[in-house]
A = this chain, B = another copy of it.
């Protein structure tokens, strides 16, 4: 079933069918009706490749992240996909896995499919070569980044101010008379650095214990978090609160702390379902993922619809705090 078949059945030219297809007003109502009827009757779908060839677009957006199995990225991809589909855009998913210097390769997968734009969630790669490739690409096709610090001429950056968020958390803990805050983190991506910086800023602000041993970099696993907490306690390292760069780590840290008789505030990050599944439920830094994703999609559609529309190069949202059992900041706790 092609545009020719439809044209023949309607006794019109393919141009007319094409016009109906694209909603042109330069078609008489009667012919339009007739063509539409035949189209429906024949269950006709225009060939997207041919259309893509002509329009240089198949209305597809590449979404790149490290791993959709991770609750944070999963939520992001979910939000993005839903928003985009509502506006008639499709998502081509691309997961890089661990950051082993193959980011450029993944970027190429996407550009080779000729997607209209790429949304990058987090920091799926960081090597010089990969970032260089990103810059090159960004001059050809719009790149929208969520919570990363890739800088490219035509890249649009959307971030959450997690640094201030962390700083606020430390502040609130300080106000509750915590003096030695253990900080567990798993990576030094953009987001990772921001959070660590926020933690350190908070420590400075309130002259809290700044011992290096209190900031521990560990793998992003339950075991790692559990082990480090157990070990620190066994070694008589004092701390009276735990903050982590990830809910997952907080879950295990809290578990280990409680198991070793330490009932102290534990605060996670990302405000994921894990925070709610933990017992006690975890207070968590909420990085406004919903707003970030909405903004990303809005930016994409804006750029696509109106090339000259003014689109902010950088958008910043402030973090929020989702309070739960693991630490309630309000007075009447």
Binding site for B on A (CB under 8 A): 45, 47-50, 52-53, 56, 58, 60, 63, 67-71, 74-75, 77-79, 81-82, 85, 90-95, 97, 109, 111-114, 222, 248, 251, 255, 273-274, 276-279
* Cβ-defined partner of A69 (8 Å) among B58, B74, B274: B74
27 cross-chain CB contacts under 8 A = A45-B112, A48-B112, A48-B113, A49-B56, A49-B58, A50-B53, A52-B52, A58-B113, A63-B93, A68-B68, A69-B74, A69-B75, A69-B78, A69-B79, A71-B273, A74-B74, A78-B95, A82-B95, A82-B97, A85-B95, A90-B109, A91-B92, A91-B94, A248-B277, A255-B279, A273-B274, A279-B279
* Cβ-defined partner of A277 (8 Å) among B109, B111, B222: B222
Q: With a CB–CB cut-off of 8 A, which chain B residues contact A81?
A: 68, 93-95
**Contact between A93 and B77, CB atoms less than 8 A apart:** yes
**Contact between B276 and A279, CB atoms less than 8 A apart:** no
Closest to A62 in B: B90
Q: With a CB–CB cut-off of 8 A, which chain B residues contact A95?
A: 78, 81-82, 85
**Contact between A53 and B47, CB atoms less than 8 A apart:** yes
> How many copies altogether?
2
Other than the given A85-B95, A85-B109, A274-B274, 16 more pairs (CB < 8 A) read A45-B112, A48-B113, A60-B92, A63-B93, A68-B77, A68-B81, A69-B75, A78-B95, A82-B95, A82-B97, A91-B93, A93-B93, A274-B277, A277-B277, A277-B278, A278-B279
